[in-house]
């Protein structure tokens, strides 16, 4: 591989561990950066979409080897009339849209020049459904509204970097593969960055940068309440600027950043929390968490508006109907076109930060909550189990959570079969 093949090459030597400011400067000048996600081991070449050239497309295809995609926000996808190929959270995959290419200025659509024209057409200020045709040779992938503060992942980070650079929100991205065709290792990425003099940045760095200056939640109401299980607590209601949903924090005692705070993040479950459904353990977990916080004398419970692990009330009831036909809870979600668990913890982390909580003792059986909070800068000093005795109505549900979602349960194989 010749270094001269790098578009807009800069002869300043290899740079790694770059600051966000350096990365943004590179993007403004039409250069690639390497965007890495240390959690899942994937990294992408990333370039501001409006500055893409034929040489840039050829560089991605030749050296990164992955699929060339165009990361776009929901507004741009709607403006272009591009439909998603499946539900945004289907099977936990990225929400890809229908492939497309420019309506004018291309031949077969597959050449580097044609693909650059297609990306430029999609990024034009006046782009509309009349600007493109489907199918084509560029695959769009839709980022979540709110970016990395809602979902800390590569697509959102790529779009955030373009926006932070003062450019239109769109990024040409391509996963970097090693010589053997597998995802590039950290060693591979460092060699790649050195060879082609590329800046490199982690998704976590983009999250940290935005957390320093932005907030997607705001307090809208506050009052003391007395709860049956938690005693007297302070209720704080938050609005999310991402989707307009409201979430509530219940606070016991004096909390702050000095010591870890006993914390429960509880997803709304109307059927379990209010109606006492026997299909799950949610209502009992809610009561147990409040009792633990009350006994401790201080703590926080976040009650999040994300029914059914994020699929909503109607779809949860549809999932119940499928479970009655023999599907387990994970299979039912997938059958409906959703992920097994579509929740993210960015908004929860922002609520905790607003409350002055930076370290927690987390009441959970779900390791994904631990990883989720850590991605947003909340330290999980300790996990405290929140297990409820199983019964005939929820034993299969709990076993599925353990076996397919990785929840940490004990004693599910004894009795209650």
Q: Is 343 a catalytic residue?
A: yes
Cis previous bond, 16, omega within 30: no
Angle at 308 between CA 307 and CA 313, to 5 degrees: 60
Q: What are phi and psi of 260, to 5 degrees?
A: -60, 140
Yes or no: say if 147 and 160 are a contact pair by the CB < 8 Å rule. Answer: yes
What is the full DSSP assignment across 6-62?
A: STT---S----S--HHHHHHHHHTT--EEEEETTTTEEEEEEEGGG--HHHHHHIII
Within 10 Å of residue 320's Cβ, how many Cβ atoms? 16
The one catalytic residue among 205, 328, 341, 344: 341
DSSP state of 150: T
Residue by residue, what is the 3-state secondary structure of 261-300?
A: EEEEEEECCHHHHHCCCCCCCHHHHHHHHHHHHHHHCCEE
341 catalytic? Reply is yes
Give the separation between CA 112 and CA 119, rounded to whole angstroms: 11
Is-contact 230 287, C-beta < 8 A? no
What does DSSP say about strands 246-252 and 231-240: parallel, antiparallel, or unpaired?
antiparallel
Residue from 115, 151, 343, 375 carrying the catalytic annotation: 343
Q: Is the dihedral of CA 369, 374, 377, 379 positive or negative?
A: positive
Enzyme catalytic residues? 341, 343
């Amino acid at each position: 591989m010749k270094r001269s093949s790098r578009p807009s090459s800069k002869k300043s030597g290899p740079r790694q561990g770059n600051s966000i400011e350096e990365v943004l400067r590179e993007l403004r000048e039409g250069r690639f950066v390497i965007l890495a996600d240390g959690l899942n081991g994937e990294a992408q070449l990333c370039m501001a979409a409006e500055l893409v050239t034929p040489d840039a497309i050829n560089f991605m295809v030749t050296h990164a080897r992955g699929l060339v995609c165009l990361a776009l926000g929901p507004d741009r996808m709607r403006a272009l009339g591009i439909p998603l190929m499946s539900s945004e959270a289907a099977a936990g995959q990225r929400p890809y849209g229908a492939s497309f290419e420019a309506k004018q200025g291309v031949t077969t659509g597959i050449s580097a020049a044609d693909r650059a024209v297609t990306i430029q057409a999609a990024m034009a200020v006046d782009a509309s459904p009349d600007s493109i045709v489907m199918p084509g040779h560029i695959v769009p992938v839709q980022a979540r509204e709110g970016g990395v503060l809602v979902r800390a992942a590569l697509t959102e980070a790529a779009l955030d970097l373009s926006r932070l650079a003062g450019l239109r929100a769109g990024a040409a991205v391509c996963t970097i593969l090693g010589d053997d065709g597998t995802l590039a290792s950290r060693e591979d990425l460092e060699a790649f960055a050195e060879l082609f003099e590329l800046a490199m940045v982690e998704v976590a760095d983009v999250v940290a940068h935005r957390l320093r200056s932005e907030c997607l939640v705001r307090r809208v109401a506050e009052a003391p309440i007395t709860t049956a299980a938690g005693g007297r607590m302070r209720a704080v209601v938050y609005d999310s600027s991402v989707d307009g949903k409201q979430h509530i924090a219940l606070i016991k005692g004096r909390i702050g950043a000095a010591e870890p705070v006993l914390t429960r993040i509880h997803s709304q479950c109307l059927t379990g929390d209010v109606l006492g459904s026997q299909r799950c353990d949610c209502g009992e977990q809610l009561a147990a968490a409040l009792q633990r916080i009350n006994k401790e004398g201080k703590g926080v419970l976040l009650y999040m508006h994300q029914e059914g692990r994020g699929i909503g009330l109607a779809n949860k009831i549809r999932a119940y109907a499928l479970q009655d036909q023999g599907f387990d809870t994970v299979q039912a979600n997938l059958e409906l076109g959703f992920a097994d668990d579509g929740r993210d913890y960015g908004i929860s982390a922002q609520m905790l930060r607003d409350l002055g909580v930076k370290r927690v003792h987390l009441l959970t059986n779900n390791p994904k909550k631990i990883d989720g909070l850590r991605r947003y800068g909340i330290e999980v000093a300790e996990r405290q189990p929140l297990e409820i005795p199983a019964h005939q109505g929820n034993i299969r549900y709990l076993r599925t959570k353990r076996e397919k979602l990785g929840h940490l349960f004990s004693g599910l194989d004894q009795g209650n079969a």
